[in-house]
Amino acid sequence: MSTLVIVESPTKARTIRNFLPSTYQVEASMGHVRDLPSSAEEIPEAVKGEKWAQLGVNVEADFEPLYVIPKDKKKIVKELKDALKGATELILATDEDREGESISWHLLQILKPKVPIKRMVFHEITREAIRDALTHCRDIDNRVVQAQETRRILDRLVGYTLSPLLWKKIAWGLSAGRVQSVAVRLLVRRERERRAFRQGSYWDLKAVLEKGKISFDAKLVTVGNVKVANGSDFDENTGQIIAGRRVMLLNEDQARALLSRIQNKPWTVGNIEERPVTRKPSPPFTTSTLQQEANRKLRLGARETMRIAQSLYERGFITYMRTDSVHLSEQAITAARSCVQELYGSEYLSPQPRKYTTKSKGAQEAHEAIRPAGSTFRTPQQTGLDGVDFRLYDLIWKRTVASQMADSRQTHVTLLTQVEDAGFRSSGKRIDFPGFLRAYVEGSDDPDAALEDQEVILPALKVGDKPNCKDVEAVGHETQPPARFTEASLVKMLESEGVGRPSTYASIIGTIVDRGYAKLIANALIPTFTAFAVTTLLETHFPDLVDTGFTSRMEQTLDEIATGEAKWLPYLQKFYTGETGLATQVKEQESQIDAKVARTVILENITAKVCIGKYGAYLESENEEGQVKASIPQDLTPADLDPEKVEFLLKQKTEGPEKLGLHPETGEPIYVLIGNYGPYVQLGDVSETNKKPKRSSLPKGTDKDSVTVDMAVSLLTLPRLLGTHPDTGAKVQANLGMYGPYVVHDQGKVGKDYRSIKPPDDVLTIEIDRALELLSQPKAARGRGKSATPLKELGAHPESGELLNVYDGRYGPYVKHGDINASLAKDESVENFTLQKALDLLAAKEAAGGGKSSKSKKSTKTTAAKSETAAKKTTTAKKTTAAKSETAAKKTTAAKKTTTAKKTTTATASKKKTE
């Protein structure tokens, strides 16, 4: 007698196997086993001629979805069917949220089991939780399945109906989405506010006072009992004081005059106010609050946060990470309070257990908050975790433990001092009892706010005291435009507006960046010109679909379908085929949308048109000679395009490049130009005999107007030969590249070793000794500020001797050997990843032609047997020899490589949770 248990991922399967008897066989479905067709080749021949086939939903027959098994899932389905043949019972143990319920339902439809079926759910993977879940199995909840299927169909209808319209009217490859397009509009709307913003300026005074050797700051707030203007008094649209505000606006001359008048005059304490404040801890994490805090404190993107959290969950470290609930079980409350008692003492415990309730009406995911797994919480140091795994677990542990701690008691002190007719304010904070702050301080979206809650101590003063003035200065200020969205603040906004599900925000933000609607720069999401064009088209012709209120009501209806309060079919019919339905709207609006207008972005204060073309955004203007077009550099955002830059780009196009001077040795002209990738210098003119003049990009942060002839000459000498490497005799050079300045150790066929040049080092002045020092340091991983430290060191490659490490890349962890990068499977744990697994993965990638250059592809056909045993192996032209250690060589065959390649493809292609 045996029981087949099916979960989504291999990691989850491996963990659960440890908690079940040997009669249980645990297998992974690798995510979804069935979905709507993603391409024309997946559409069955029987329906390819139908009008609705490309949509994947038969809108003419009660919106019946056309589900297919993707090619990369057919082997998995066969393996699951084979496993089921020997089972006497089937347990579906997919995730407990809506999508997990849907995956279980799809498995039932495909496997058609003839044995008893159970649905097992749990929110943590521990021995106790799994054993308990086995005794509390239930049936599949068909209402939840129906709600998820409706959501999937709705998203397909929106995406596959609007996206082709965007291809026709704006540019090929664009996409629209029920939640994605609303999120893009939020970014664009904020950027419009920034463009419309008018800066205001004001001055005030700042003093440093002292009493009893304790110094404290004081800021000017009144003059002659009239409030002095600050940033909050300005109208963002005019840059002037808001009409009706009775404030005094000081300019520089007035501020300095006041400074002179109060210089060396006595200061007197006029009033002291002490206000007791009690702060309560934040509730434990939900999906959205975890994404927000991980972004603020750890600088992790939403997608990366969810990947790490998924791994922690599947390995049994935390509870289920897709949840809207802040509720903690009695077991979790007891575990958290035990941690507080043990680590901080009973005085830091809240008098009564804190029980949190979820305010969000639509909270229907897992029934508990994200917390450390188990009936006792392992401290971060006890887990054996490291790197980002450790940091995220540490964040979750602290937040959970702090939620059961005592309130923080503080006293806020406001001190008013007077000198002549000028009033100054000082603010202090005294922490009387830290309470939960001992464990955890919540982050803030305010870039000026400190993450740590620190005391600001004022000296013991009373009314009438006369503190000494150590220093006073006039300070100028300029008002700032509304802050751009970060991933954290966008997630917060989407959740507060009720748009989408928090469990899908990570994939939505990832899609926005991947499709070119936004750039992630310094943790800010900056919309592109394409985002402006698409948003304008949707606002003009389909306003409901990008309205947060309309989308929120859609989400509410989908929730009501899950609870049986609403019917799915009438809703879809009204939404898509009704009189004002999406299909009707698209049919009516398509002929009214002028493609030329749709591709044009109108920006305030810009006389030229900004157009979206096949190769990106460009300027279009009319002059006496006709129409002029000039490309807009890819790194130039809508917020940064001003009249001066427009004039320069158009002038460069019509009058030719700006001549900086003549090269002192060749006499050729040197030009400063702006191209698709930013400003650069060029030596000489483009001609029939000189089609590619010598060019060099400007170092990042260098303004084109600051470039001198000497600097340009130096840049044009790049790459600079610094000398030879003492170990190899190969040349060492300094140069500028796509990722900035670097030094390179060029060993020809052996390969090139690069290191970035960071300030204060300069690509134009760096010498050989410093270059060798940089080259001796560990290589940094590319992408969004990743640490130079590998996630895991694996050991030396048996053939090349090159050290193999696991790095954290833009699309997740990967291993690198020479020109080959191989991503770990989505469900592969970095912690359990071994050198042998890396060798197999790289061999599979190489066999599939995964090298980046012809050189690496040729090497796949070359016998590279280095060890004695490997030399005995004979390979054909179709096989790849990747000689490993003697043991590895005996085990590895071309057939095994093919199998590994297929497994890697399958794992990588497992469906992400999207909306």
Q: Which residues are catalytic?
A: 320
Determine if the peptide bond prior to 719 is cis (ω within 30°): yes
Q: Is 610 strand, coil or helix?
A: strand
Distances (CA, A) of 716 to 663, 764, 770, 909: 10, 10, 22, 45
Cβ count near 26 (within 10 Å): 22
Residues whose CB falls within 8 Å of the CB of residue 392, separated by 6 or more in sequence, listed in order: 294, 298, 300, 305, 308, 309, 312
Residue 408: phi and psi, rounded to 5, are -90, 130
Q: Which amino acid would we find at residue 672?
A: V
Is there a contact between 209 and 469 (Cβ–Cβ < 8 Å)? Answer: yes
Long-range contacts, 440-447 (Cβ 8 Å, 24+): 440/281, 440/282, 440/398, 440/399, 440/401, 440/402, 442/282, 442/293, 443/292, 443/293, 443/296, 443/297, 443/488, 444/296, 445/296, 445/483, 445/486, 445/488, 445/489, 445/492, 447/483
Is there a contact between 364 and 501 (Cβ–Cβ < 8 Å)? Answer: no
| Interatomic CA distance for residues 779 and 807, integer angstroms | 10
Residue 468: phi and psi, rounded to 5, are -85, 145
Q: Which amino acid would we find at residue 17?
A: R
Q: Give the CA-trace dihedral at 550, 547, 445, 361, to 10 degrees.
A: 0
Residues whose CB falls within 8 Å of the CB of residue 298, separated by 6 or more in sequence, listed in order: 305, 388, 391, 392, 395
Edge-to-edge order in the sheet of strand 600-601: 600-601, 609-613, 616-623, 626-631
Distances (CA, A) of 355 to 15, 85, 279: 30, 47, 16
3-state helix/strand/coil string of 347-361: HHECCCCCCCCCCCC
Q: Which residues of 381-418 are buried (b: 16+ CB within 10 A; e: fewer)?
A: eebebebbbebbbbbbbbbbbbbbbbbbebeebebbbb
Distances (CA, A) of 867 to 751, 837, 842, 894, 897: 22, 20, 19, 18, 19
Is there a contact between 75 and 906 (Cβ–Cβ < 8 Å)? Answer: yes
Tell me whether residue 539 is exposed, middle or buried, using C-beta atoms within 10 angstroms of its C-beta: 0 to 12, 13 to 18, 19 or more: middle
Is there a contact between 397 and 370 (Cβ–Cβ < 8 Å)? Answer: no
User: How far, in whole angstroms, is CA 115 from its chain's centroid?
Assistant: 44
Enclosing H/E stretch for 469: strand 468-478
